[in-house]
Structure 1
Amino acid sequence: MKKLGEKDKKENVDKVKIGTNIQNSQNEENIDEKKKIIVLGTIIGIILVIYLGGSLYFKDKFHIGFLINNIDVSANTTLEAKDKIENSLKNYELTIEGKDKVEKINASDIDLNFNGEEKLNDILKSQNPFSWIISLFDPSAEILNNSITYDKNKLSNKIDKFVFFKKENVVEPKNAYFKYEDGSFVIIEEEQGSKVDKKLLIKAIEEGIESGERTINLEEKGVYIKPKYGKDSEEVLRTKEELNNMLNTNLNYSFGGKNLNLDKNEINDWFSVDKDMNININNKKVANYAYKIALQYNTKGKIRSFKTSTGKIVNVSGGNYGYSVDQAEEVKKIISSIKKGEKITREPVFSEKGNIYNGNDIGNSYVEISLGGQHIWFYKNGKLLVDSDIVTGNKSRGWETPAGVYKLTYKQKKAVLTGENYRTPVDFWMPFNGGIGLHDATWRSQFGGNIYVSNGSHGCVNLPYKVAEIIFNNIDGSMPIVCY
């Protein structure tokens, strides 16, 4: 057997020591693990006891942080919660905050009471006692609708007297609107006003009372009547664009050497916008402008300076000849142009026109009748075709032929002139003033002189047959008949 050396002996001793140390360390770790398990089990046990105890405690009580109609009923039984709610209602006061006014409603004003005990029991029964711990981190709340009673008539009477409804405190909301500035229309911002919607106010107050709110803000509750259209509304922006498009209208009236211009400087105050953002054009202002056009261009019935065939200058007024603006049609056309925003040059809409438009607008083709001289001249394109003595209306009987400048109404061959006590056939009939006209008078043997004073016509201009024929064959509706 081999003997161990000193070195080997030492190594064996070290191995024994290491083994012993390892064993000791393992034993200590086992002891610590057991201790930890015991501590953890103790903690779990304590928590479980607390949890189960809490569950038992909250079996007939509301959870922590639980609110009913905004009243804290934490750890209260239903009876305790009922007492707390009833006591709270006795001192209940609801503050209603307006924009610049405040009103209050007290419990005594409306006979406020609580009758929700049965509902409290239902809530408590539905509460899971084992979930009480969750309420510590996530408290719950309930609103008991219809559990608060009050006298609705008293509430209504109270609301009727609110300062918000006094006339001096009510400012009507105002839509955004338009203003003409520096050549275009701009949007003026809407005004909110301070008009309260009574139905919405009553609803907000009733909901506030039932939920136990102490303060309600009318703006937050949205009970103020708002303008229908604000400055950024699609309808407002569209209307602004349409207004400015119409404002760009430019109508240049050019006729007979006269000019008149209609543009934004004139029409900017012709527009109005209704509550639905529809644009209206003021017909009266358009009609006034059409009248202005008529004053500029009308010649019908005006006094005309006329140089007679004898060289004398006379002023002739009256009659139905000349230019006349059709104002009703002109109004329609102006409105149509404005709606399109047109830029055009045109002449006015005339209902009647003369031969030419310059000077006295008679031109060089016309019939000239001297009532005092009892004579007629007929010019066509400046050439005298015929002149003759005539007989006009009977002066002694008040049937004088009226002075004035007239247009030919029509001409007819083989007409029969009738009156109160006569029936006279003529070959050439040319009326120009109602039943007064030019015609042949074959029953007369003489014309001119003073025949008309006592033996004149019923107002017509009696002509020798040949004179009547020449005029009839050459006259047309554009040629004026000048009587002076």
Structure 2
Amino acid sequence: MKKTFKIIFGLLLILIISIYIGGLFFFTNRYMPRTYINGRDFGLVKKSELKKTYEDLSRNFELEIIAKDKNLNDKIAAKDFGYVDSIGSESIDQTAFYWPVASLVPKHYKVDRDLKFDAEALDEKINKLKPVMGQKDHSQDAKVIYQDGEFKIQDEIHGNFIKMDEFKNSILGHFGDLKEKLDLAEENLYQEPEITKDSEYIKNQLASYKDVYKKKIIFDFDDRKEEVTGQGIIAIYSKADDGTLALDEEKLKHFVERLAAKYDTYRTSRIFNSTGLGLMKVDGGIYGWLTDRKATREKIKEALAKEEPVTIKPAYRQDAVSRKVDDVGKTYIEVDLARQKLWYYKDGALQLETNVVTGNPTKGNGTPTGTDRIWSRERDRYLTGETYRSKVSYWAPINWSGVGLHDASWRSNFGGNIYKSGGSHGCINIPVPVMKNLFPQTFTGMPVIVYNSATQRVNDAGGQVVVGQQPQAQANQGQ
């Protein structure tokens, strides 16, 4: 029995030694199992063929591109763009004496690599890949929409456009690591929406839209009112960083500018119903409503801070006698340069008519036309210029260039064509007794419409508001 055991033990020992020696010779020229060089398995590869085998692995590599739409799956091979991954070392030393144990343990080596490829060919190949050629749907952020009478969140859209720079780098990375599949979705290579339906940003925005949409401002213009609600209110807000709506100062400025452009009458054109001759188009002048932009913006801010609808009147830098469409009203002075006439109306009834002398146009002193206003009323003062100094008893300036209404004691005749040769320096000269009677009827802010019926007459109002009226009572005739 002992002899048999010894024989068996001897045979096993011989077998083990033989296997060891055989392995020793085998692994002298080959790498042991579980040998990894730059992450690649080179177990059992001949040491003399290390460099060639390493390069062949990259030359023959093919990468599968997996898209959302499986019909767009594609492949890219190393040969498509001349990809070669080589190493500088011809071999890596590995002792075979401990091969029985070393074969069971992973052995990792990092060596210098030399990557070579045709960058232009790579770009060309990438642009021809099906996932790239099939790009057609851009991702869209979730957004707040108004639908069926309410605000709601519209879900984001996940498109199929690719992050091209990252895609290219990922391809090269997979070639370097010999990873055979690149899933575009799993590696987050699609351009995704920045805002989703579940983000706090869009939830804040929805709540803010609902709150702002309920606000209402009513602008009171006497015989007209303009309501600004809903989208009109939202239009003067912008989105803050957290998604909420915040009042936008620039948008508010533009809103007030548009409001002023629509309702201001300062220096605008008017269709005036002249005495005896019908409609005249009168441009410019200093009469009318002029919005105070800054003060009006502050009023709007105060109104928007309230929950309930608010009625406000814009703030004005200059007002007029009426805020109605016909802001001239029924009490005013009318002057026709062509007829050299002045008329005074009170509450729609003609109170006074007189001949006048206006500025001399042949000397460049013609009286400017426009819808003006009496902005001051003075007694007993001197009017002076470069060539004159005249004492008047009554003075009522009507524009910013020194033109006004006043008596002219130095004249004995008025009306006709006197103004063409002996006209004033621009003022409207009125007989002394007439001016004495007219002056107490005037007031600061009183409209004075100056026109030239020879050049400003129109046949049709063209839908514009007509101001002025025909005489309703017999007037006193001035001289």
1:259 is displaced (CA, Å) by 1.2
Aligned equivalent of 1:416: 383
Q: How far apart, CA to CA, are the structure 2 residues paired with 1:221 and 1:127?
A: 44
Partner of 2:395: 429
Residue matched to 1:481 = 448
CA deviation profile, 1:82-108 (whole Å, cap 9, x unmatched): 676455455333334455252412358
Which residue identity lines up with residue 194 of structure 1 in the other structure?
Answer: F
In structure 1, what residue type is equivalent to 2:447? P
TM-score, with length taken from structure 2? 0.64
287, 292, 314: which is aligned to 1:348?
314
User: Aligned with 2:270: secondary structure?
Assistant: coil
Q: Which amino acid aligns with 2:424?
A: S
Question: Aligned pair in 2 of structure 1 residues 481, 323: CA closer, same or farther (>3 Å)?
Answer: closer
CA displacement at 1:438 relative to structure 2: 0.9
Aligned equivalents of 1:432, 1:62: Cα separation in 2: 108
Cα deviation, 1:162-209, whole Å, max 9, x if unaligned, reads: 2437885555854415353224363441444423332x3443333323
CA distance in 1, matches of 2:377, 2:95: 109
More helix as a share of residues: 1
Q: Distance in 1 between matches of 2:123 and 2:199?
A: 34
Q: 1:355 Cα shift?
A: 1.3
1:392 aligned onto 2:357: yes
Residue 8 (structure 1) aligns with = none
Q: Distance in 2 between matches of 1:209 and 1:157?
A: 17
Structure 2: stretches of 5+ with no match in the other structure: 452-479
Q: Write the mapping of 1:73-88 to structure 2, written as runs, cut at 5 A.
A: 73-74=42-43, 78-79=47-48, 85=54, 88=57
Match of 2:164 among 184, 197, 200: 197
Distance 2:97 2:436 in 1: 119
Flag the 1:317–1:220 CA change in 2: closer, same or farther, 3 A: same
User: Following the alignment from structure 2 to structure 1, what is the Cα–Cα distance between the partners of residues 396 and 89?
Assistant: 107
**Aligned residues of 1:408 and 1:476 also touching (Cα < 8 A):** yes
For 1:162, what is the secondary structure of its paired residue?
helix
Q: How does 1:441-456 map to 2 (within 5 A)?
A: 441-445=408-412, 455-456=422-423
Match of 2:289 in 1: 324
User: 1:30-69 to 2 correspondence within 5 Å?
Assistant: 64-68=33-37
Shift of 1:302: 2.4
- Larger mean CA deviation between 126-135 and 355-364 belongs to 126-135
Say if 1:287 and 1:405 are closer, same or farther in 2 by CA, change over 3 A. Answer: same
Other-structure match for 2:462:
none
Amino acid at match of 2:61: Y
Q: Please say if 1:303 is aligned against 2:271.
A: yes
What is the SS of the residue equivalent to 1:159?
helix
Q: Sequence identity of aligned pairs in percent?
A: 20
Q: CA deviation at 1:441?
A: 1.6
CA distance in 2, matches of 1:338, 1:143: 74
Aligned residue for 2:409, secondary structure, equals: coil
8 A contact 2:376–2:444 mirrored in 1: yes
1:91 to 48, 55, 60: 60
SS of aligned partner of 1:443 = coil
Residues 1:269 and 1:396: Cα distance change in structure 2 (over 3 Å): closer
After superposition, the CA RMSD in angstroms is 5.4
8 A contact 2:293–2:315 mirrored in 1: no
SS at match of 1:356: coil
- State how 1:143-222 maps to structure 2 within 5 Å: 144=110, 146-147=112-113, 149-152=114-117, 154=118, 156-164=119-127, 169-171=134-136, 173-176=138-141, 178=143, 180-182=145-147, 183-184=150-151, 186-198=153-165, 200-222=166-188
Q: Which residue of 2 aligns with 1:3?
A: none
Say whether the 8 Å CA contact 2:201–2:244 is kept in structure 1.
no
Which stretch shows the higher mean deviation, 183-192 or 265-274? 265-274
Task: Give the Å deviation of 1:450.
Answer: 7.5
Aligned to 2:473: none
For residues 396-417 of structure 1, the C-alpha deviation after alignment (integer angstroms, 9 at most, x for no partner) is: 9597756654212434562433
Larger Rg: 1
Which of 109, 112, 117 aligns to 2:84? It is 112
The residue that corresponds to 1:440 in the other structure is 407
CA distance in 2 between counterparts of 1:55 and 1:263 reads 95
Instruction: Give deviations 1:133-166, integer Å, cap 9, x for gaps.
Output: 865xxxx47474634x3423x2x12311124378
Q: Under a length normalisation based on structure 1, what TM-score does the superposition of the two structures give?
A: 0.64
Q: 1:256 to 1:323 in 2, by over 3 A?
A: farther
